[in-house]
A and B are shown apart, each in its own frame.
Chain A
């Protein structure tokens, strides 16, 4: 796959930050509004896929290496399991941050409310780590597939 035209590249360049922001918002607001780690991660990964289409898989692999992506993915997964392990004093996956007045430690009022980001305990942190894993994993899948396909095309 070669680079696409300058128009496409410029528009993708300007769209890319907005997609990123939106994806990160979906990850960060996962415990309040629809979304969460996977959905937001998929949005961010699709933003990366946009760059992949606009430029080329070779260009992308010059910027990020596949092995680094897999390390990032592992870090996300390890973060998730470590957060689950932190509650092992009580039970595995125990949400010890709730009501502790630490980070994300507030208890929201029951029923409809205005939404407080500083609630839900471990869930936002878990959303973050899942998001990290999904970004790295999905982007690696798309990028490697594009790379393999483009290499196959060049052979012909």
Chain B
């Protein structure tokens, strides 16, 4: 038993992408046998991946270590064979932040696969759907765990192709095709600029490994160009205003189970942005300028996201704009941390912790709201809020889940959204009180958005016939709701055991580098 755990831990970084990838291509074969077998198989693969990720997370969070894995070498840990100046093989490097994002990605993917059991039952071409969902999981896990720039680009493209294809899954609806087209155009342009930046860095330093590049980077003119290209394109993929326009389209038109997977994909892009700023360019003081730009863009995201959300009349689109505002909060925390990275003030660390904590909170809250939106659509075949009403009478459980999610998104105590937003407010207040005031006001407007949905969809006279949704959908929502309540009631346990190691791993650039280059 101990041996198996040891093997899983040693080969864990490879297995977390190998298992879902293997499952993805086995799915079409299994679905020729039986639909039910395929669903069970997909959930089992997701569960196995989740298990390995959690095992790795336990090891990394308790020992505060970094797991590296060298593909195809004689030993997994042999990153730099003797006689080599740079690592030549593809290296996966998983530190606290990587595994933190990995947990988010695989948890949302697992919930999505459970939710799809009933939600997607009546659709055609489900073998392709599940294959793409597993590929999307592979892409996200690869993005967060890779330590190689070109490999990162490949996983970025896998993620965008899989998620665009999933957005376009309902092929007969024109709107979903339109959303998918916008998404794939923007993400492929973004990815090409990422590749351009990778090529610039490769041309200067002859290396693709992030740790090696971070060690050698000198901040020449071309490095500035690469930094701008990386920040702009990854910021677009993360949905920062004013490059967020694809996000409400894609979130709103995709099936709900796909939407929560894309939420995780967006956050994986945000992770990449953070990783590039803090680790790749972490030794250069000018990167603080990027922090100030991120603060400005974050304020724009929060304000424009929440005011646009008030205007919407479509259930999912409204939550999508609220998600834009939530992205603003994360970027605000990260931006404050980056702007003050070199002053090493205690509240800059708190800001980074708040931003990272808000990433997982946003994934759970917005994910739960999208699942409820999907449940309402499943029960009523209706998405416009004007035509909904009185759902609380017949969809009791979904209503409770909606209240939990809405309070959490709006940052009401004692939900988890409040704890992370409090961390962000207090640290931004130290930078400028105006920022904190605007952020708090926007949070109140978010509550107004949620009240609008609750008032028009769940209260009032019943305008549509509805019955509560099947059990598997309720289970999927219940998992997220339980996690929200747990994170809300015990924020300290989460912050101490997960968020703090992740933030420390982000700030300590030297550890990341020495893990590959061996104490250079």
Chain A interface residues (CB < 8 Å from chain B): 67, 70-71, 73-75, 77-78, 81-82, 84-85, 87-88, 90-95
Contact = CB atoms under 8 A, between A and B. Distances in A.
Contacts of B21: 81
Interface string B18-43: 10011011111100100000000000
B71 interface: yes
A75 B14 CA distance: 21
Contact of A70 (B28, B72, B73): B28
Given A78-B25, A81-B21, A71 B73 contact: no
B75 interface: yes
Sorted nearest first, the 6 A-B pairs with minimum C-beta distance are: A92-B14, A77-B25, A93-B72, A93-B71, A74-B25, A74-B28
B28 A71 contact: yes
A84 B72 CA distance: 9
A73 B135 CA distance: 15
Interface string B77-106: 000000000000000000000000000000
26 contacts: A67-B32, A70-B28, A71-B29, A73-B28, A74-B25, A74-B28, A74-B29, A78-B25, A78-B26, A78-B29, A81-B18, A81-B22, A81-B25, A88-B14, A91-B14, A91-B69, A91-B72, A91-B74, A91-B75, A91-B76, A92-B11, A92-B14, A92-B72, A93-B72, A94-B73, A94-B74
B160 to A, nearest CB: 18
B70 interface: yes
Nearest to B25: A77
A74 B72 contact: no
B125 to A, nearest CB: 10
Most buried by A among B11, B28, B74: B28
Interface string B54-73: 00000000000000011111
Nearest to B28: A74
A71 B32 contact: yes
A94 B72 contact: yes
Nearest to A93: B72
A91 B18 contact: no
B93 to A, nearest CB: 15
Nearest to B21: A81
A74 B27 CA distance: 9
Contacts of A71: 28-29, 32
B47 to A, nearest CB: 19
A24 to B, nearest CB: 23
Nearest to A133: B25
Nearest to A95: B72
Nearest to B128: A70
B70 A78 contact: no
A91 B29 contact: no
- Chain A facing B: main interface SS: helix
Contact of A87 (B27, B69, B72): B72
Contacts of B32: 67, 71
Contacts of B72: 87, 91-95
B107 to A, nearest CB: 24
Contacts of B18: 81, 84-85, 92
Given A88-B11, A91-B73, A92-B69, 9 more contacts: A67-B32, A74-B29, A78-B26, A90-B75, A91-B71, A91-B75, A92-B11, A92-B15, A92-B71
A87 B74 CA distance: 10
Nearest to A78: B25
Contacts of B24: 77
Given A71-B32, A81-B18, A85-B18, A90 B25 contact: no
B49 to A, nearest CB: 14
B243 to A, nearest CB: 30
Contacts of B71: 91-93
A90 B22 contact: no
A79 B72 CA distance: 17
B138 to A, nearest CB: 10
Given A71-B32, A81-B18, A91 B70 contact: yes
B26 A74 contact: yes
A90 B78 CA distance: 11
A75 B26 CA distance: 8
B76 A85 contact: no
A120 B234 CA distance: 38
A95 B73 CA distance: 8
A90 B11 contact: no
A9 to B, nearest CB: 33
B459 to A, nearest CB: 46
Nearest to B30: A74
Contacts of B74: 90-91, 94
B73 to A, nearest CB: 6
Contacts of A84: 18
A153 to B, nearest CB: 19
A70 B132 CA distance: 13
Contacts of B76: 91
A88 to B, nearest CB: 6
A151 B26 CA distance: 31
Contacts of A73: 28
Contacts of A67: 32
A94 to B, nearest CB: 5
Most buried by B among A73, A87, A90: A90
Contacts of A82: 22
Contacts of B70: 91
Contacts of B75: 90-91
Contacts of B27: 74
Most buried by A among B21, B70, B72: B72
A70 B14 CA distance: 26
Nearest to B71: A93
A74 B71 CA distance: 23
